[in-house]
Amino acid sequence: MEQDRQTSVERSVQTAARDAWLTRLASVLVRRRGIWSCGAWLVTSLGVATLARIAAGTLTIGVPRMFYLPAIVIVTLFTGWECGVIAVITSTILAWLLFFPPQLAFRLPNADQLSSFVFWILIAGSQVAIAQVVRLALQRALQSETRYRRLLTVASGTICIRNERGEVDAPQAGWTELTGAAWPNYRGDGWLDAIHPDERSRLALGAPPADDSHHEAELRLWHAERGDWRWFLARSVAVPSANGGHEWITSFSDIHGRKLASDRKELMIGELRHRLKNLFTVIEALAKSSRGISDAAVEDYLKRFLGRLRALGTAGDVVLSAGNVSIECGAVVRATLEPFMSERRDRFQVSGPVLHLSEETGATLGLAVHEMTTNAVKYGALSRDDGRVAIAWMVDPNGRGEEEIVFEWSERGGPEVAPPAKEGFGMRLIRTVAARERNGTVAIEYRPEGFYCRIGFVRAPKAAKA
């Protein structure tokens, strides 16, 4: 195993050395040259081709101008298509004067010679075009590689480049300064020594994703300056390599402070949730112990009060568990309905997309859902075995860069309902759900098939991501 690993590392080092040599050769090939340098390449290349043709003498079979094709390609590659065109014209004149009898004579070509010259121009011109395309491709490749190298040097995080086997082939900029590991100690798999053993498996990426997405993982790296493990965010992306495989480019960004702050926040939120539940439990116990003698009105009041208290506690717990200042509509609705769904879940139909509401609107919606559920149990659809309740919410763009939010409560299968003579606290609470939102409306209908409530308001789409 150790011998295979050493062989793999040596092969990777040889490949890296060869790639570096090819890069230097390509940079010499396509760099910009002045007029005197271009002239020197032109004269030297055509001169060598002419001397080679003269030295070949009578052994040469075929068209003499073909000796100039390599010279034309070299001139175009090293100096550009302009000098390549000049090389075609110059080589044509030289071949005509030096190698076509009578030599050094100016005469018009016959039909066969003219067709031969046209064929030559087509061949030479295609060589110039091909050489220019290769030159431009090399220039673009070198420009991309130079940009990539410069980007790595100014990147805010430390960059690590690995081959498809996860091994490091060459020194990595900033790795020694960060981890204290000097080259070649971290060559091959040695770079993994700087990653905490518990997180090393998070960088076992395998095959690159088909959608070109990047891979993220939070892990601890050894920080040489601080002499301790610190949290980093590793972003890895697969890049195709020249041999048909791929290599992994990973950027390590220091998130130690943010990670510790997030952990402290989660701990505080957990403690706050625990204290909030204890507080509601104490309030419930105080309310029950303070009711005195048994009375139907007192019992009804206590039941309503405790129900609303639990609904408010449920909404608050949803906010704290999310760790932000918004409430997901589906979470608060299902949490509020949970006590009523314990026996017959099929009596409730809940549907709607992910919808984040403000803390105030979400909490009020939870109270409203509790009120409507309580009324449905007492007077509405849930007072009968075949009664059903459908709760749905929708988000629709209105064409003005805003979203229309609609929440609907529909009952069916219950007794016939009628509007109350006087609107109680429950109905007033339902009407306050949309009071904090723009263009808020609440429609309450007592339909023959059952109670119906529609709550709507308008907001900007960015509010949904709060």
> Which residue's entry shows tokens 């509601």?
280
- Residue 326 β-bridge partners: 358
Instruction: Determine the pLDDT at residue 392.
Output: 94
How far, in Å, CA of 232 to CA of 202, rounded?
12
Q: Which helix (H) or strand (E) holds 245?
A: none
Q: In the chain, which residues have pLDDT < 50?
A: 1-10, 12-13, 15-16, 59-62, 463-466
Closest CA to 66 of 40, 101, 92: 92
Q: What is the CA radius of gyration of the chain?
A: 40
* Displacement of CA 88 from its chain's centroid (Å): 51
On the 0-12 / 13-18 / 19+ scale of CB atoms within 10 A, 81 is: middle
**Domain range 293-465, CATH class:** alpha beta
CB 291 within 8 A of CB 298: yes
Instruction: Determine the pLDDT at residue 390.
Output: 94
CATH 3.30.565.10 location in the chain: 293-465
Give the E-state strand segments of 398-449 in sequence order: 403-412, 438-447
CB 258 within 8 A of CB 237: no
Taking the model in full, what pTM does it have? Answer: 0.42
Which token pair is 74? 């070299």
> Which residue's entry shows tokens 């790296």?
221
Alpha carbon dihedral 146, 152, 156, 162, in 10-degree steps, equals 160
CATH 3.30.450.20 location in the chain: 155-254
How far, in Å, CA of 251 to CA of 161, rounded?
9
How far, in Å, CA of 166 to CA of 217, rounded?
16
CATH of domain 155-254: 3.30.450.20
Residue 117, classed as helix, strand or coil, is helix
How far, in Å, CA of 317 to CA of 338, rounded?
14
For the chain, give percent helix, strand, coil, nearest 5.
55, 20, 25
Q: How is residue 189 annotated by DSSP?
A: T
Instruction: Determine the pLDDT at residue 454.
Output: 93
How far, in Å, CA of 302 to CA of 426, rounded?
15
